[in-house]
Structure 1
């Protein structure tokens, strides 16, 4: 059965930018009591501004707590954006990050003051002490990651490696055809036919017993096979080597059915159960007024119960039985297998009553 597997991946597009905001003369600027702003910078097609703003929290007990709010805001005239931000406070002595603050992705919109910025509250004692504050300078490094809508994913065929169908049957058919390594010969109807003992033994318990069992006769070749036609024996070997019937399309229907009947007998003789069922199936599909009695006799002799029931059911048709009784096959059936006729008539009677 042909199958297909495709793959598509949906992932958001991101654009990231970093802005270094250096504040020189920090003490002088914070003394003004206003936010300290960076210049405008662009990330992801939007304008942004970083800021630092002193905040004094007044409590009822009269104690004031001083903090600094460091944040990033979306500039005016910018559309909505989804973004995350990260702040690094830089060690003035080494140039390396001293502390890092991260915020999860959120919606930014300049239309709404509350959603236009994101911020971190930083304790003043941390910011205004070495190594963050050095020579009255502070360096902040802002990284903005703008998350864009994912593009419609492209559908691709999932990678696969084609494995060709098994060709073992071709190799075994070639082995039979070319006769290479033949180590056994049969005489069938006066004709010698070669084969390979091991292959026959693997496929048929009867051949295994004859060729390797205690009753085998050493040195008696060719082995004479009686009551089997050469063409039927070749068809049997073809099935043993390929697990399929040989081509029979060129034969007339009567000749083909005759070969199948003889092949069923051979399959029963050599305990080839699958071949026996295949022959029964073909004979069942080709039942007719002229063949049903002969096929019933064959099924009775070789214990083909399903084929036997199919013949009886065919004969049970009221418009058929009279015609069947007039055939030579039915007359032969009454003479050679009277018990089968009785059984058939009894079942036919039950079918009609039912």
Structure 2
């Protein structure tokens, strides 16, 4: 339908294999109203090095799950089904000035926040899920239209007599997690029992290694109780340990249960704490990245406290930059999280005050930091 048809324009940003494409979506509101979850609008094909590509736009998401309506999906795929090596350097919604705006996506499917991303198109695709509420409140939708920029590096790998499929190790370990064949350790978390494999946990976490194989080794027949953690958080932690990815279901469940309060952001906060507790650095960085992408006046105090307590430098800098705005600062001070921040992290408040002072006021900053 013409009212919400994708229009594609492209520009070559380098003479090598780098390309930049801009997709314009017109009729955002009508597309969201008329198309169901799983239904998409496909852009006209565009050709790079002899291969046709398309962008599939799902206004109400691809997955028929409870929280899918909160997201739209952008899927980049080949139209001709031939083998092409692809590296996506950046995907972003453009603001009113045509520049990459704030990041509203929640994940790259199968890859979780990683850029650049490499894959073989026949065996996979690139998917960006974008929270519709964030996009709609951003001001990036103009006259019911918005644009997406995708920066790609494309290289034709030519004819291949043997095609090596991408690694599916995570699928095997995911199956092991589901079946629990050979499980030799059990945990009790919030009244719920979880079975697992000592060697898998020990290989992924130095803390589990010490607890399960080292001097702190628990008895094989014992039930290890974990306090101060919710069962759904530990379930997601196990999923990441076995598959190196986060389960979409857990994020969507959190969103479904607390959409108005940023349920998926709360989940990221809990998982960050769990990742730090068990020394799983990549998961911690994924959660930190998500929190940096969803800073608002309701969550910034909590995020700043988390950053201080769990040594998240990037998140701390992002919070301090957000609070440099007087209106954001006042709103944060009126939030429930501010009282928690004052009680639990006075050092973070000192850093905040110091960051608000002019650069020339070095002496007052030094005094504040010594208090």
Q: In which range does the TM-score fall when normalised by the shorter chain? A: 0.5 to 0.7
In 1: Cα distance, 2:338 partner to 2:331 partner:
10
TM-aligned CA deviation for residue 352 of structure 1: 10
Residue 2 of structure 1 is matched in structure 2 by 84
Residue 132 of structure 1 is matched in structure 2 by none
In 1: Cα distance, 2:180 partner to 2:199 partner:
14
Give runs of aligned pairs for residues 68-107 of structure 1, distance below 5 A.
Answer: none
Q: SS state of the match for residue 187, structure 2?
A: strand
Is 1:266 aligned to 2:274, yes or no?
yes
For residues 159 and 195 of structure 1, do their structure 2 counterparts lie closer, same or farther at Cα, with a shift above 3 Å needed?
closer
Bigger share in strand? 1
Give runs of aligned pairs for residues 128-277 of structure 1, distance below 5 A.
Answer: 158-219=159-220, 221-247=222-248, 248-252=251-255, 253=259, 254-277=262-285
TM-score, normalised relative to structure 2: 0.51
Is the CA contact 1:169–1:242 (under 8 Å) kept in the aligned structure 2? yes
In 1: Cα distance, 2:160 partner to 2:239 partner:
39
Q: Which runs of 4+ in 1 moved over 6 A?
A: 351-354
Is 1:340 aligned to 2:348, yes or no?
yes
Give deviations 1:116-142, integer Å, cap 9, x for gaps: xxxxxxxxxxxxxxxxxxxxxxxxxxx
In 1: Cα distance, 2:203 partner to 2:309 partner:
27
Give runs of aligned pairs for residues 284-303 of structure 1, distance below 5 A.
Answer: 284-303=292-311
Q: Pick the structure with greater CA Rg.
A: 1
Q: SS state of the match for residue 327, structure 2?
A: coil
Residue 335 of structure 2 is matched in structure 1 by 327
Q: SS state of the match for residue 216, structure 1?
A: coil
Give deviations 1:136-167, integer Å, cap 9, x for gaps: xxxxxxxxxxxxxxxxxxxxx64442221111
In 2: Cα distance, 1:292 partner to 1:259 partner:
15
Q: SS state of the match for residue 318, structure 2?
A: helix
In 2: Cα distance, 1:334 partner to 1:263 partner:
23
Residue 18 of structure 1 is matched in structure 2 by none
Structure 1 stretches lacking a partner, 5+ long: 5-156
TM-score, normalised relative to structure 1: 0.54
For residues 352 and 251 of structure 1, do their structure 2 counterparts lie closer, same or farther at Cα, with a shift above 3 Å needed?
farther
Q: SS state of the match for residue 246, structure 2?
A: coil
Give deviations 1:92-134, integer Å, cap 9, x for gaps: xxxxxxxxxxxxxxxxxxxxxxxxxxxxxxxxxxxxxxxxxxx
Is the CA contact 2:185–2:220 (under 8 Å) kept in the aligned structure 1? no
In 2: Cα distance, 1:328 partner to 1:160 partner:
62
TM-aligned CA deviation for residue 243 of structure 1: 0.5
In 1: Cα distance, 2:84 partner to 2:353 partner:
49
TM-aligned CA deviation for residue 189 of structure 1: 0.9
TM-aligned CA deviation for residue 328 of structure 1: 1.5
Structure 2 stretches lacking a partner, 5+ long: 1-82, 87-157, 363-371
Q: CA RMSD in A?
A: 2.2
Relative contact order: is structure 1 or structure 2 higher (C-alpha 8 Å, sep ≥ 6)? Answer: 1
Is the CA contact 2:189–2:231 (under 8 Å) kept in the aligned structure 1? yes
In 1: Cα distance, 2:220 partner to 2:281 partner:
30
Is the CA contact 1:313–1:348 (under 8 Å) kept in the aligned structure 2? no
